[in-house]
Amino acid sequence: MDSKAEEANRQTRVTILDVASAAGVSKSTVSRILDERLPRSDNETARRVRKIADDMGYVRDVSAASLRRGSTMTVGVIVPRLTDTVMAMLYESLAKACSKSGRFAIVATTDDKPKADRLAAESLLKRGVDGLILSTAREDDDFPDELLARRVPFVLALRTDGRSLSSIGDDRLGGYLATRHLLDLGHRRIGVVAGPSYASSALGRVEGYRQALDEAGVSVCPDCIVPSTFGIDAGADAAEQLMRLEDRPTAIFAVNDNTAIGALSGLSRLGISVPNDVSVVGYNDIPIVSHLPTPLTTLRVPFEQIASNALDLLASGAISADDRIRVSAPTLIPRKSSAKPRT
């Protein structure tokens, strides 16, 4: 758009003052009624103002409002990759939560590489985001400390370093529920596709697995815990490794639905039937798993609650020490991939 067109656009744009004049109310009244961040008024004046604004073609000037507030009303979201359905679900939940409060979410991906985290953060901060939500925290990385030292507002989501503001699922509880479910069915030899050791989510789920076995008086077999990535191929490789054990498991708990899908594929290649020969439990309840030929038993993660908590923490600033890490409970969703072991 050239300068003349821009000037014409400014001259013809309907403003709050125009709406206020047409409605016969004050500018502040119109501003309050049309501010989507505030509770929606439904009295006669509010309905009339909204109708007049719609009829006049009023569009809220986000940039001007941001300048007045000293913020851009944008949130930067950093995820490993959007091809991972879990991360896509988190981002969509964050975008939806942002929309409810008049904010906008911008996403950057890192392929789960620490150096890429820093580049993504710098890129988003240069675009003026008001804060960052990161789902890429690693046990061996001090990036959150760097952000804290720079006074960059940020919150960790799904994964935590145990210190920073975080909104996560109760991974230990989820791992416990998955393993308890298999124990209740009668399984005693339970393998784990354990995920990466740098992700607190994976570590928590394995801790829950160990807790359930310990409570049941079942010894943990070190060979039954197989590290992996969060990818499908890694799940297949891990399941095949478990099936090569001399005393192979009768059930597998995969700490991520992608690795569970991979495990199903690997077992199929070996001619092993699920759940007749081996039961499989996943984690996250991504949409596809309920539509598999053998629908997957899994743990449902409350992504919307995690997103809402993350945004609340980001906006809160200084909060009490016991509220720095908000934990949302998962729910066990039993389906056909888990059954009693063969006797």
Cα separation, 182 vs 218, in Å, equals 12
**DSSP 3-state of 121:** helix
CA Rg, the chain, in Å? 25
Between 21-35, 90-104, 126-140, 187-201, the lowest mean confidence (pLDDT) is in: 21-35
DSSP 43: S
Q: pLDDT digit string (tens) for 163-215?
A: 999 999 999 999 999 999 999 999 999 999 999 999 999 999 999 999 999 99
The average pLDDT across 222-229 equals 97
Q: Please choose, from the candidates 183, 168, 199, 340, the residue with its C-alpha nearest in 3D space to the C-alpha of residue 253.
A: 183
pLDDT at position 60? 65
- How much of the chain is in helix, strand and coil states, percent to nearest 5? 50, 15, 40
pLDDT at position 83? 92
Cα separation, 128 vs 121, in Å, equals 11
Question: Percentage of the chain surpassing pLDDT 70?
Answer: 91
DSSP 321: G
pLDDT at position 6? 40
pLDDT category at 316 given cuts 50, 70, 90 is confident
Residue 66 predicted with pLDDT over 60? no
Q: pLDDT digit string (tens) for 254-306?
A: 999 999 999 999 999 999 999 999 999 999 999 999 999 999 999 999 999 99
pTM to 2 decimals? 0.79
